[in-house]
Amino acid sequence: MLALELVVVLGLAVLLCNAVGPHLRIAPPILLLLTGAVLGFIPALREVRMPPEAVLLLFLPALLFWESLTTSLREIRRDLRAIVLMSTLLVVLTAWAVAAVAHALGLPWGPAWVLGAALAPTDATAVGVLARALPRRNVTLLRAESLINDGTALVIYGLAVGITVGEEHFTLPHVTWLFLISYVGGAAAGAVTAWLGLRLRRLFTDPILGNVALIVIPFTAYLLAEEIEASGVLAVVVAGLVMSQAGPRFAGVAAMRRQAEAFWSLATFVLNGALFVLVGLQAQSAARTLSGSDLTDALIAVATVSATLIAARFAFLHSFPYLIRLLDRRPQQRLRRMGNRPRAVMSLAGFRGAVSLALALSVPITLDSGDPFPNRDTIVFVTSGVIVVTLLVQGLLLPAVVRWAGLPRDTVADEERLLAESTAAEEAYEALPDIVAGLGTDPEIAERIRREYETHLQAAHAGEDETDDRQAVRHAEQDAALRLALLAHKRATVVRLRDDNHIDDSVLRQVQARLDLDEVRLTQQETVD
């Protein structure tokens, strides 16, 4: 019965915290985390354990897939070098810094590196929720970093655990091979899965079946990558990015897209909220595993490691950009430069989350010899504590730091959306005569729509004043067919503007959402008629 009770508790917690959060001016994830910690005092919920497989195989593929579907590929390409450095070199340096501090506090090198690897990656879920108010470029950098850096952290984690239990060895060729398999294999698995998914979705006209195929894609990509010992995280991200580019080209699937957006928005909202509550529960559970001097030492480690994470990130983001400036003097590089205050915001926005906790919980309980894995309870507790600190302290400080930084309001998306809507309407108007001739539309129908495009530059459904029922039905069918053809032309125009880099992917999605709503309305009206 506990499973059913847990579902109800998680649902109520997600509902209430998201309802109360805006009134208290506290980010809902922070309330959810605190709620999870408080719920841990309930005896019936103390037995709740979050299996690491649930995060790595259930939560993570779904959440990362939606994050990658809604991330701008154009922005990623523009800042690719910075994203790669933050996803690889920063992760390695962070893992080393945490391991060095943990070793200085008494952990052996093996467990210290396990702790460093677990805490090195930022969390896409936390970043997506807590940093969404930042300008678009900052959000894209943070999201792309957190989507990719898990692959680096998993390689370091696997090495650290393997060396500690005596199953791995550290040599430069071996490590290089692991990274190649992780990234190249993961990217290939994601691309292949996306290609197959696109072919599969074209077979279905039923929105439900098409979206079932979409749901399978992230889990298939993760599974395929895991089978070849590559990065399942990177496979899911690549699959999502490929789908985000190819999906808008599909014609006649507006209802499928609208259904998919509604489903994924709701599903990821619930999964995100439940995940924060479960992290709070697990953090409270981890606190009960230690007592006395061990607990005091672990609390000191939490504070020290948390400060180390912020310091390492701050040092990296305020040093490597200057090295890049020395090496790359191109004018376009100067246009991409970011000031010290925005970089301070980026430094504070390195939240840790469920991925780190899943890695800590995945640490083996025993070695091959049968002896306990050294300091496993400490690793789980410190990881849980650091997650709480980064979400609570950094999450509460971030709005004040953003105000201090004085980041400019991002109006580019609004301008690009206006460009997309006006250009699509104008080109549809210009194409109206050819479309009318091709469809054989009655002149009065074409004239009415022409006047509407001249006046409003948008499609607006108008009623018919026909007295003859048969003629009214025919005019309604022609009206709907013409409007659908114009919507298809507008959609093709918006996609072309995205492909030519005149508008961003996010703008494309916003405009396409409106076009899809019109298409769904028209097709549903046809069905009713």
pLDDT in tens, 459-504: 433 333 444 445 655 666 777 788 888 888 998 999 999 999 999 8
Distance CA 41, CA 89 (A): 40
**Local structure of residue 366 (DSSP, 8 states):** B
pLDDT in tens, 67-110: 888 888 888 888 888 888 899 999 999 999 999 999 999 899 98
Residue with tokens 């899965």: 193
Residue 360 has pLDDT above 50, yes or no: yes
Bridge partners, residue 366, by sequence:
372
Per DSSP, the three-state class of 77 is helix
Question: Distances in Å between the alpha carbon of 472 and those of 34, 463, 478?
Answer: 61, 10, 10
- Where do we find the tokens 């010290």? 340
Whole-number Cα distances in Å, 206 to 215, 245, 260, 466: 14, 21, 12, 33
Q: Which residue has the higher pLDDT, 507 or 417?
A: 507
pLDDT value of position 97: 95
Assign residue 106 a region: left if phi > 0, alpha if psi is -120 to 50, beta otherwise?
left
Query: If you search the block for the tokens 């046809």, which residue do you land on?
Result: 526
CA distances from 512 to 163, 247, 339, 516, 523 (A): 51, 11, 34, 6, 16
Residue 317 amino acid letter: L
Instruction: Tell me how far apart the alpha carbons of residues 169 and 162 are, in angstroms, rounded to a whole number.
Output: 8
CB 373 within 8 A of CB 367: yes
Distances (CA, A) of 89 to 180, 409, 471: 15, 31, 69
Residue 113 amino acid letter: W
Asked if 368 and 165 count as a contact pair (C-beta separation under 8 A), the reply is: yes
444 or 108, which is more confident?
Answer: 108
Buried b (16+ CB within 10 A) or exposed e, 373-407: bebbebbbbbbbbbbbbbbbebbeebeebbeebeb
Predicted confidence (pLDDT) at residue 324 exceeds the cutoff of 80: no
22 touches 122 (CB < 8 A): no
**Spatial distance between the Cα atoms of 272 and 306, rounded to a whole number of angstroms:** 23
pLDDT for position 168: 64
Asked if residues 86 and 320 have their Cβ atoms less than 8 Å apart, the reply is no
The stretches of 166-206 forming alpha helices (DSSP H) are 172-180, 186-202
- What is the pLDDT confidence band of residue 457, given thresholds at 50, 70 and 90? low
Predicted confidence (pLDDT) per residue in 119-145, tens digit: 999 987 777 777 777 788 888 888 888
Residue 478 Cα to chain centre, angstroms: 42
Structure token digits, residue 190: 């994601």
pTM of the model: 0.78
Beta-ladder partners of 372: 366
For the chain, the structural domain boundaries read 2-410, 413-528
d(CA 155, CA 157): 5
Single-letter code of the amino acid located at 82: A
Topology at the third CATH level for domain 2-410: Na+/H+ antiporter like fold (1.20.1530)
Phi-psi bin for 135: left (phi > 0), alpha (psi -120 to 50), beta? beta
